[in-house]
Amino acid sequence: MHLIGGGRSEDYAGEVYEVFLEEAAARASVSGRQLARVAVLLVGGGDDAPIFARAYREQLLRTAPCEPVVMQVAEGELFASAVLTDIDALLIGGGHTPSYLEAVMPLVAEIRLLVADGLPYAGFSAGSMIASDRAIIGGWQIGGVPVCPEEAGEDLDELTVVEGLGLVDLAIDVHAAQWGTLSRLIAATEAGLVDGGVAIDEFTVLIVGDGDLRVEGAGSVWKVTTDPNGVLVGTLGA
C-alpha cells in the first residue's frame, strides 16, 4: 500500500512511485508481461482533464518502464468494473476527494479482493484519503470552529468522516505541511471522529507493508494517536 501526500512537478523523478512500480513489474512478470499495466483512475478536471491525464502518464513513465492505462470520469460519474480488468497495479489519483470516493464505490468490493490478492495499490492525495476504513473526505470546521484552512475543505464545511475503501485501518490526511491539514487530523482525533491516523506531506509516501510502515520522499509523515490526556503527535520522517 503506497499512500502519497500529493505534490506535482514536471521534472520530478518520481521517488514516491519507485517501490510501487517495482511491485507492479514483479506482478506483471508472473503474468508473462514485459511491462506492467498500471490502471490510473482520475475524476474530474473539467477542460483540463487531458492535461492531468498526460501528467500522470508522463510521471509514471519518467519513474520506470510501464504501461499506464488512464481512465477518467467526470465528477458525479461512476467507474465501471472493467477498469480493473487485466491490470498489474492500481493508482487512484488526486482531486475532489468526495467525488473520488463516489466514483469508485461500485468497485470497493473488487478493489479489496484484488489488494488482498497482492495487487499493488497507490493513492495520490484523494486516492490516499479514501483508502482508509474511516475516511476523512473534507471539511474545515467542527461545530462551526475552524480546524484547518477553508481552502482544504473540499467544498464541505463540517469535517466529514465516512466509510472508505477499507484498505488501511488508520485515517489519512494529505498535503500536511503545505495545506495545514495536520490540524484537521488532530481535531478529528480529539473529537473522536477517528482513532488517530497519519497526515502525509507532499512528495512523500507512506508504504504500508505486513505489519511495518516505511516513509520515502522529501517530507514527513505525521502520526496522530489518542492519549488519556489528549492527542499525541509525532513524525515518522523519511
Query: Grid coordinates standing for 223?
Result: 502520526
CATH of 2-235 among 3.40.50.880, 3.40.50.2000, 1.20.810.10, 3.90.850.10? 3.40.50.880
What are the φ/ψ torsions at residue 70 (nearest 5 degrees)? Answer: -90, 130
Domains of the chain, by residue range, sit at 2-235
pLDDT, residue 209, reads: 85
Quick: pLDDT tens for 69-78.
999 999 999 9
pLDDT digits (tens, 9 = 90+) for 110-123: 999 999 999 999 99
Q: Which three cell numbers mark 234?
A: 509525532
What gap in Å lies between CA 194 and CA 217, rounded to an integer? Answer: 26
Q: How far is CA 81 from CA 9, 127, 166, in A?
A: 31, 17, 18
Give which of 124, 89, 121 is closest to 14, Cα–Cα. Answer: 124
Query: First-to-last CA distance in the chain?
Result: 16
- Which pLDDT score, from 0 to 100, does residue 212 have? 82
